[in-house]
Chains A and B, each alone.
Chain A
Amino acid sequence: AQSVTQPDIHITVSEGASLELRCNYSYGATPYLFWYVQSPGQGLQLLLKYFSGDTLVQGIKGFEAEFKRSQSSFNLRKPSVHWSDAAEYFCAVGADRGSTLGRLYFGRGTQLTVWP
């Protein structure tokens, strides 16, 4: 069965510190992987995606993620966190259905708090 696990429900870091949010997935086919960010009361904004090719992908706002097939992981990283990064982060997995993606499976999210 398809699933996404985000083992950390809540992470607190100091502004300027590095960040790593963990994501593990279970998927029967070749996965397409995503990280989204959600601010309170808002929809989801795409940070980055992995479809194929280079396993280290760059996204917006200085985020990057590395796909490790052997570990079924797609961890999100940022070298220096800003206070505005405080939000909830969701990892998602999907698969190609013809020319476009089908449904996405989301993890339960990791809430990031940033201390000044």
Chain B
Amino acid sequence: DTGVSQDPRHKITKRGQNVTFRCDPISEHNRLYWYRQTLGQGPEFLTYFQNEAQLEKSRLLSDRFSAERPKGSFSTLEIQRTEQGDSAMYLCASSLRGEQFFGPGTRLTVL
């Protein structure tokens, strides 16, 4: 399968813990995007990379959130000191030009 993959698919954590998610884009895609989706809402943009450079960050991405794409391939999204409000689906997408292709998402539940 050559689609976008995300790991883990589900994560349950306790408030205050740190979590890290991974996204592997389609291999030749140079752009990678992170979105967050809460129940009953559409995805909201968090950040995106072109190759290893982080080009834009949403104000939704507080200081507790950090994203990296060290070699321009896979990306990680880390949330420090998780809060219950962080519970959401975290979606990753990649593109070469034009449309964005989405992965299956990581569902985070913060207890």
Tell me the A residues contacting B by CB distance below 8 Å. 4, 32, 34, 36, 41-46, 49, 51, 90, 92, 99-109
Contact = CB atoms under 8 A, between A and B. Distances in A.
Given A51-B98, A104-B45, A109-B41, 15 more contacts: A43-B4, A43-B103, A43-B104, A99-B97, A100-B50, A100-B95, A101-B31, A101-B98, A102-B56, A103-B48, A103-B56, A104-B35, A104-B43, A106-B44, A108-B42
Interface of B: 4, 30-31, 33, 35, 40-45, 48, 50, 55-56, 58, 91, 93, 95-105, 107
Q: Which 9 A-B pairs have the closest CB atoms?
A: A106-B42, A43-B102, A103-B45, A44-B102, A43-B104, A100-B97, A106-B43, A108-B42, A90-B42
Contacts of B50: 100
27 contacts: A4-B42, A34-B99, A42-B104, A43-B91, A43-B103, A44-B43, A44-B93, A45-B102, A46-B99, A46-B101, A49-B99, A99-B97, A101-B31, A101-B95, A101-B99, A101-B100, A102-B48, A102-B55, A102-B56, A103-B56, A104-B45, A104-B100, A106-B42, A106-B43, A106-B44, A108-B41, A109-B41
